[in-house]
Amino acid sequence: MIAAQRISGALGAEISGVDLSRPLSKADLAEVRRLWLEHLVVFFRDQELDGKRYMAFARQFGEPVEYPMVKGIEGFPKIIEVKKLEHERIPFGGIWHTDTAYLDRPPMASMLLAREIPPFGGDTLFANMYLAFESLSPGLKKLLEGLRAVNSSTKADASMTREDAIKISGKEIKKYSAEHPVVRTHPETGRKALYVNSGHTLRFAGWTEEESAPLLKFLFDIQIKPEFTCRFAWRPGSIALWDNRCAQHNPVNDYHGYRRVMHRITLAGDVPA
């Protein structure tokens, strides 16, 4: 029996009664997707998955794609290792963001499987972009719905959150840039969400970075208000599956001196509208 327990008032639910090492029935898969669309991010505990079974679940849910800058693990090019080692101080993706918003077709979803967890810390925060947009005044909503934003991989490079992973990945370091609507309509739910993020958004299209900065800062601050967020504490075998079209995430960097190793799969998306 599939059940879901909410972990905050804003978003996030822990799903029980599911063994992801086996193919889900059509009914169970439909129920997991319904819960995911409702809660934006869902979590599963104690999943015994090797690379083959992890990929099999991902394929049931969407189309796995290669990450643009980091080489996949041995035998599974569409699974990347997200790790911070004992001597490292900066985590991979350690900033509030939506995954690869600098692509013309950003991913629909990402899933993360915990392999090695520090004895404390290393949680991940998630934020609800529907609520962020809905909290704005009618006048600001109207302004934002007429704007597009320029998103660039160079901003993420500047933050150095992926520096070590890119150095050892063996992949060519390319620069990516894409324009997307500031307010995105979710293709499955029809709800509107703020679609800018501090990790990738440089400016509004037709505006300079200097002109854009004050309004973007205001939006970035709104997006991560505590009442719009949830926090997930990992255990080995835990999985998070989040909707990149309406949620942001940020790994908490509070476990220096310890190792944290995760395996991530990215699922193909469509052109934001």
Q: Is residue 55 part of a domain?
A: yes
Q: Is residue 12 part of a domain?
A: yes
Task: Give yes or no for residue 164 having a pLDDT over 70.
Answer: no
Q: Is residue 37 part of a domain?
A: yes
* 190/172 Cα distance (integer angstroms): 37
Q: Is residue 273 part of a domain?
A: no
Strand partners, 176: none
Q: Which residue has the higher pLDDT, 208 or 155?
A: 208
Task: Give yes or no for residue 168 having a pLDDT over 50.
Answer: no
What is the pLDDT of the chain when averaged over all its residues? 93
Strand partners, 265: 79, 111
Q: Which of 12, 154, 42, 160 is nearest to 94 (CA)?
A: 160
Q: Is residue 186 part of a domain?
A: yes
Residue 68 confidence (pLDDT): 85
Q: Is residue 100 part of a domain?
A: yes
Read off the pLDDT of each residue in 71-97 and give the average, rounded to a whole number: 91
Domain count along the chain: 1
Q: Is residue 272 part of a domain?
A: no
Confidence of residue 89 (pLDDT cuts 50, 70, 90): confident
Confidence of residue 6 (pLDDT cuts 50, 70, 90): very high
Domain span holding position 45: 3-267
Task: Using DSSP, state whether 31 is helix, strand or coil.
Answer: helix
Task: Give yes or no for residue 161 having a pLDDT over 80.
Answer: no
* 157/154 Cα distance (integer angstroms): 5
**Segment 49-60, tens digit of pLDDT:** 999 999 999 999
Handedness of CA 195, 198, 201, 207 (dihedral sign): positive
**Long-range Cβ contact pairs of 102-106 (< 8 A, separation 24 or more):** 102/151, 102/152, 102/153, 102/156, 102/176, 102/177, 102/178, 102/200, 103/68, 103/176, 103/178, 104/178, 104/271, 105/268, 105/269, 105/270, 105/271, 106/178, 106/180, 106/244, 106/245, 106/269, 106/272
**Segment 215-260, tens digit of pLDDT:** 999 999 999 999 999 999 999 999 999 999 999 999 999 999 999 9
Confidence of residue 157 (pLDDT cuts 50, 70, 90): low
Q: Is residue 122 part of a domain?
A: yes
We report the CATH number of the domain holding residue 177 as: 3.60.130.10
Q: What percent of the chain has pLDDT over 70?
A: 93
Which residues are the active-site residues?
Answer: 97, 99, 249, 264
